[in-house]
Amino acid sequence: MMDVAESDLERLLGQPLVLLDIWAPWCGACRQLEPIIQRFSDHHPTVGVYKLNADDNPNVLRFYDVKGLPTLIAFSQGRIVDRVVGNPGSMEAIAAMFR
């Protein structure tokens, strides 16, 4: 799991599978989600897991039409395959985003 900025996205989205966690430091639900994201990252090494701070990257929020935090966006081959707003509650629910 790695923190990224808007300037990193084009390169990172070239990976086969990517989970982008859009969060903010003031967001309680984002903080609650962090250990779940970390476990997912530890158990799914083929998925690139990246955290993007919403406050520091407003253009990304507009581009991906982010309406709430946290927002998880799953990418396969650079295309969005699923999106979840809020805490999905489990590592398994995050894995299901890629099915």
* Distances from the Cα of 23 to the Cα of 71, 79, 89, 91, angstroms: 7, 20, 15, 17
Our answer to whether residue 27 is catalytic in this structure is yes
Our answer to whether residue 26 is catalytic in this structure is no
> Which residue among the candidates 1, 27, 61, 85 is catalytic per the annotation?
27
> Which residues lie below 8 Å from residue 61, measured CB to CB, with a gap of 6+?
22, 54
> Which residue among the candidates 22, 30, 33, 37 is catalytic per the annotation?
30
Cα–Cα dist 12/20, whole Å: 10
Kindly list the catalytic residues: 27, 30
